[in-house]
Each structure stands twice: as C-alpha cells, then as structure tokens.
Amino acid sequence: MTRPGLPKLIATDLDGTLVRSDETVSAYTHEVLDRVRAAGIPVVGATGRGPRLTELTRNDIRAADFLVMAGGGRVVDQSDPGGPVVLRDERLPGAVLAGLLADLEAEVGPLTVMVEASDEHDAPLWGDYHASWPYQDRFEARTRAECLSRDVLKAFARTADHHVDELLDVARRIVPAEVATLTQAGLGFVEICPPGVDKATGLTVVAERLGVDPAEVLVFGDQPNDLPMFAWAGWARVAVANAHPTVRAAADEITLRNDDDGVAVYLDRLLSR
C-alpha cells in the first residue's frame, strides 16, 4: 500500500522501463522528471549499464541527481557543484570469474561469455561473439584468457541450450552469493556481478548520503535485476506493463508500458494529486 503524500526519493530503471523500444525517451518524460526535481525529490537512474555508457545514460535521464550503474557496482553523485563524485566502484577479480565460469560450464556445457572490463567512454565489451547481442557496435572479440586477465565490472554468460531464467536458476545453485551476484536484465544473458552488488545496495549508498529511509523510496522496473530494489524500497514498487512476470508479481502497482511513457504517466498523476 502506497503512503500518502510524496516519496523522498525516486529511482527508475532505464532500458525497458523509462526508455522506449526505439531507444528514446520522450520529451514528456523529461518534462515530468524535471517537475519531480522541482518538487524537491531527488531522482536516481538505476541501470545495468556500465560506466562506459555514462554519457548515454545522462542523456536518457537528464534530471538524475545520482546514477546507480553496472547493476549497483558504480554509484555517482551528479549533484555536487564540483562535478560528478564516484561513491562506489566495485570489481570482480578475473581469477574469481574464471573459477565460477569453470564450475558453471562443468554443469551446463560451453558458455558464450562477454566481460565489461573498461569504464572508458563507449568502450566495447570483450569476449565471444553472439548474434543475439543487441549492441554489436560496442563489442570486440577477445579470447577467454584476455577477458579474464583483469578485474571486471560485470560479465555476461549464456548457453545455446538453456533459457536465461533456467540458466540463472542453475547458476545461483552453483555459485555462492559470497562469490558473485547473479541476475538477468532481459538481454538473454545471465549477468555476473561482484558479490553484494545489486541495485538495492547501490541505492543504499544514495539513501545514506541523503539521509533517506528505504521506506520513503519509490522505484520503477521491468526485469529481474530490479527485484532487489523492489524488495528494498518501501514507499511503492511500480512495474511497467511489459515487465517480466516476477517483477509484476513483486510490484505494488502496474503502470503503462515503457512505450506508453508509463513511468512519466504514474509520476504525473502523483504530482497532480
């Protein structure tokens, strides 16, 4: 049940939630988010995108005071007058990733693996080519050894024989939570993050900096990687109508699809109460 009045903090996922299928954000959505900030409510973009996509992310959620990126591993305060301040930067050691991939391949067979190793602007992912990856312009084929030669922000894995939700279930059974955090974001790949990294722990960094209780936070999402912040936030958890079934089930409310500006419509109504 939502609380009366307004939340103290609003966080929204981007792809599939705020961003439309044509990879744009409407002028209406930008205008509503500007009104949210004008009402004194900080806005957070909470996304699986890594810091290499920071400029794209800033363009998609221009009103954001904070960015929670890489599924929670990179947190940036954009409100500081001196410029953006990195509040969190977590990495997964290559040796740890190598071990868990070996354990997973022993169970499910060969994996297609990509890693996010660099936070430079528009840096490509490294790894195994797969035709289903939607962002081929930001991909570079590299050997497994090269991919595991350094600490990474995140890794992506899939098999030809498992649906991503099935592979995620298997991976969570094999890989202990203290080794890595596992999720999926609707791209057909299991995402492997450093232990303790998810959108909830990323938002915790923001909430503590602002002195906001999780019970005062409103969140929007569409994929399983949004479930931790749905469990964490208490003011309301809102899924877009196109959300994964598990996210819809965890939501307090369902708004319109991302292509129908569901986040903005919900917030517009909230501000107009």
* Rounded CA separation 178/100 (Å): 12
pLDDT per residue over 32-56, tens digit each? 999 999 999 999 999 999 999 999 9
pLDDT given at position 263: 98
pLDDT given at position 141: 93
Among 13, 80, 15, residue whose Cα is nearest residue 233:
13
pLDDT per residue over 71-95, tens digit each? 999 999 999 888 999 999 999 999 9
Q: Is 270 helix (H, G, I), strand (E, B) or coil?
A: helix
pLDDT given at position 1: 39
* Rounded CA separation 213/60 (Å): 26
* Rounded CA separation 255/219 (Å): 12
- Using only C-alpha atoms, what is the Rg of the chain? 18
Q: Is the confidence at residue 257, as pLDDT, over 90?
A: yes
DSSP for 63-93 reads T-SEEEEGGGTEEEE---TT--EEEEE--B-
Query: Which is higher by pLDDT, 31 or 138?
Result: 31
Q: Is the confidence at residue 131, as pLDDT, over 90?
A: no
- Calculate mean pLDDT across residues 203-219: 98
Among 187, 255, 263, residue whose Cα is nearest residue 225:
187
Token pair for 224: 């399983």
Structure confidence at residue 137 as a pLDDT band (50, 70, 90): confident
- Calculate mean pLDDT across residues 211-237: 98
pLDDT given at position 2: 43
pLDDT given at position 194: 98
Q: Is the confidence at residue 4, as pLDDT, over 80?
A: no
SS3 content of the chain, % helix, strand, coil (to 5): 35, 25, 40
Phi, psi of 74 (to 5 degrees): -125, 125
pLDDT per residue over 141-184, tens digit each? 999 999 999 999 999 999 988 999 999 999 999 999 999 999 99
Q: Residues of the chain with pLDDT > 70: what percent?
A: 99
Assign residue 196 a region (left: φ > 0; alpha: ψ between -120 and 50; beta: otherwise). Answer: left
Q: Is the confidence at residue 3, as pLDDT, over 80?
A: no
pLDDT given at position 228: 98
- Calculate mean pLDDT across residues 236-258: 98
